[in-house]
Amino acid sequence: MDSSQNAATAGNGVGGNGMIISQGNNTAATAVDDPKQNLNQVINSIQKTLGLLHQLYLTVSSFNAASQLPLLQCLNSLVMELDNMVKLAEKCSIQVPMEVLNLIDDGKNPDEFTRDVINSCIAKNQITKGKTDAFKGLRRHLLEELEQTFPDEVESYREIRAASAAESKRLAQAQSILPNGDMKV
């Protein structure tokens, strides 16, 4: 099948490889509220658009008077698919950081952004862990000093603390809440 036949069949709703090309808003109207399904529909629309652009390129590169109608049909199919893509994209809420787009514009791999974010999180996590360990050490040191000075009060504090921890654990189990605050599924 040559490029003019490809373009002609694209205008009729069938791609050059036998793939049905969406005409109109039927895909957008049947979109479910499932974000993954919406994303898959947008991805499929992007792939169809890329296929139509390739067909358009082939038609234009071998343009003659006889290929004017297939060219117009291919352009109409492209416009309809772009319209469909916009409608599908409205149901998809994906936020892409500007840094990722800037990396792509600069010709770099967007995975660099992910790597940098992960490395930043690791560094912040290490800082937070250091602070937590320092507070645990301070608490331990204060309890040791208080125990030497006020042994009865520290013993009473530890009993109250143990009772409170047991009560929190019992309530968490009763409410199906994990000790870290997550809900059991």
pLDDT on residue 97: 86
SS (H, E, C) the chain: CCHHHHHHHHHCCECCCCCECCCCCHHHHCCCCCHHHHHHHHHHHHHHHHHHHHHHHHHHHCCCHHHHHHHHHHHHHHHHHHHHHHHHHHCCCCCCCHHHHHHHHCCCCCHHHHHHHHHHHHHHHHHHHHHHHHHHHHHHHHHHHHHHHCHHHHHHHHHHHHHHHHHHHHHHHHCCECCCCCECC
pLDDT on residue 177: 62
Question: What pTM does this model have?
Answer: 0.44
pLDDT on residue 184: 64
Q: What are the per-10-residue average pLDDT scores of the chain (185 residues)?
A: 41 40 42 74 93 92 87 93 90 85 89 91 96 96 93 93 90 70 64
